[in-house]
Amino acid sequence: MARRPTPPGTPDTTAVGHMVDLVRAAVPPLHPAGLPFVAVPLAVAVVGGRNKWVRRAGLSAAAACAAFFRHPHRVPPNRPGIVVAPADGEVALVDTAVPPAELGLGDQPLPRVSIFLSVLDVHVQRVPVSGTVREVLHQPGKFLSADLPEASDANERNSMLIDTADGKQVVVVQIAGLLARRIVCDARVGDVLTIGDTYGLIRFGSRVDTYFPVGTELLVAPGQRTIGAETVLAVLG
C-alpha cells in the first residue's frame, strides 16, 4: 500500500484538508482483520459508558488492538534483484537451513533470515519479492516462543514459495509464536504478487523466515531492526 505522489495539476487543499492529510499520514490505517477486535471493546465501552472503569477498559482495549493491527503505508525500493523484509521486527538469525520439508525443495541448506516480531511490532506480512506464487502450504505444529531457533521446524507455520520472473525461488514462512494462534495468508497458488504488497497477518507475537537461492548476498545481521517492505534483506545472485 504505497503512498501515491500528488499528480501534477492537483488543486491545493484547504487548511482543514491539509490537517486531515497530516493526520492520515501520521496515524496508520487498520488492517481489516483487526476490525472485530477493535469493534467489540468499543461496543463494551459504549454499553457500559455509565461506569467509568468499564468505559476506560473498553477504550484502552480498543486502542491496544488498533495499535496491534495497524497497517502502515510502505514504499519498497525499486532496485532490481533485491529481496525486502517481509515483516517489521528484529533479525534473530542469519544462517543456512533446510527449507520447510512440505515444499519438497530437497535437503540442501539455503541462506535464511529469520525476523522475530514482538507484540509491539506491526504484524502484517509483506511480499519480499515480485513473482508468481507456486505453493502455499499450512503445517500444524507447536506454539513455542518464536525467538527460539527450533521454532522454524516445530511451530505451526504457513509456507509460500515464490518464482521470480528471472527463474529464482524465494520462500517466505509465517511462523506462529507462544501467543500467536492464528496465521492469515491471503495469497493463493497462481497469484502474481508485487514486492511490498501485504499478503498476510499473524496474531500476537510471531516470526517470519525467508529462504533464498544459493549465491544470494545477505545484507543484514542479527539484532538489526527491519521495516517490512522497505529494509533490503538480500540481493539475489
Active site residues: 206
Q: Is 90 helix (H, G, I), strand (E, B) or coil?
A: strand
How many CB atoms sit inside 10 A of residue 93's CB? 17
Q: Which of 219, 216, 172, 218 is nearest to 193 (CA)?
A: 172
For residues 126 and 73, give the distance between their C-alpha atoms in angstroms, rounded to a whole number.
Answer: 11
Distances 102 to 38, 157, 215 between C-alpha atoms, Å: 36, 11, 23
Q: What is the dihedral of CA 152, 158, 162, 168, to 10 degrees?
A: 20
Name the β-bridge partners of 207: 116, 175
Single out the residue of 177, 182, 181, 139 nearest to residue 160, CA to CA: 139
